[in-house]
Amino acid sequence: MSFNILRVLSVILCVITCSSSWNSVCFYKEDEGPCKAINIRFYYNATLGSCVQFTYGGCYGNENNFQSEEECKQKCQSSGKFNRSNCKLSPDPGPCRGYFDRFFYNSTSGKCDKFKFGGCLGNENKFWDNEECQAKCGSELARAWTIQRDFICRYIRGHLCFTRCFETFPVAGLGINVQMKYTSRGSI
């Protein structure tokens, strides 16, 4: 048991000392919270690499919640765009001793694979989930579909799903229908 406590303390210390160059709150998923107020706010969408408007319910949620687009950009948006050459980097767990599932783009197989991340540093070929990895490093079709799917869920359904749901949508320009599985988009 003391080993686990030391591991947790090591990760916390490492994140505190090593994370000055990034804001982890910027990678939290959009979270409207359970309340029903209508507050226009902005959150950083790490997949798109930009700040996006959303409706905050007024309570709970998470820290990826900014009163203005400018505040969001100042906190989260890097000055440069994601460099696709980062997709060729080997997975790097970093020096911390955490044990977190992350995804990296495997340029040999052309797919996103899971690896264990230590909790700090590493390199830019590191993503929270397979969707983000595909959106940044996958094929043009995979990246376009990720954006289209999020557009469909937000603007046609009117909100992001809070539970698993399945629907069939036509894929524009391809003449096919695809069944999509949506999952919760709450905080990570």
- CATH (domain of 95): 4.10.410.10
CA dist 68 and 107 (Å) reads 37
| Together in a domain, 127 and 149 | no
pLDDT in tens, the chain (188 residues): 555 555 544 444 444 434 334 456 888 889 999 999 999 999 988 777 789 999 999 999 999 999 999 998 888 875 456 678 889 999 999 888 888 999 999 999 989 999 999 888 888 899 888 888 888 888 754 544 444 444 444 444 444 433 334 444 444 444 444 444 444 443 33
What pLDDT is attached to residue 165? Answer: 44
| Together in a domain, 120 and 64 | no
What pLDDT is attached to residue 4? Answer: 52
**Residue in the block written with tokens 């080993």:** 3
Q: Got the DSSP string for the chain?
A: -HHHHHHHHHHHHHHHHHGGG--GGGGSPP---S----EEEEEEETTTTEEEEEEE-SSS--S--BSSHHHHHHHH--SSPPPGGGGGSPP---SS---EEEEEEETTTTEEEEEEE-SS---SS-BSSHHHHHHHHS-HHHHHHHHHHHHIIIIISSS--SS-EEEEEEETTTTEEEEEEE---S--
Pair of tokens at residue 11: 């990760």
What pLDDT is attached to residue 18? Answer: 40
Residue range of the domain that includes 108: 83-138
What pLDDT is attached to residue 47? Answer: 73
| Together in a domain, 157 and 183 | yes
Last residue of a domain, one of 25, 54, 76: 76
| Together in a domain, 147 and 115 | no
Q: How many domains does the chain have?
A: 3
| Together in a domain, 59 and 108 | no
CB within 8 Å of 144: residues ≥ 6 apart: none
| Together in a domain, 103 and 158 | no
For residue 84, count other CB atoms closer than 10 A to its CB: 10
| Together in a domain, 172 and 124 | no
| Together in a domain, 117 and 96 | yes
| Together in a domain, 6 and 48 | yes
What pLDDT is attached to residue 23? Answer: 57
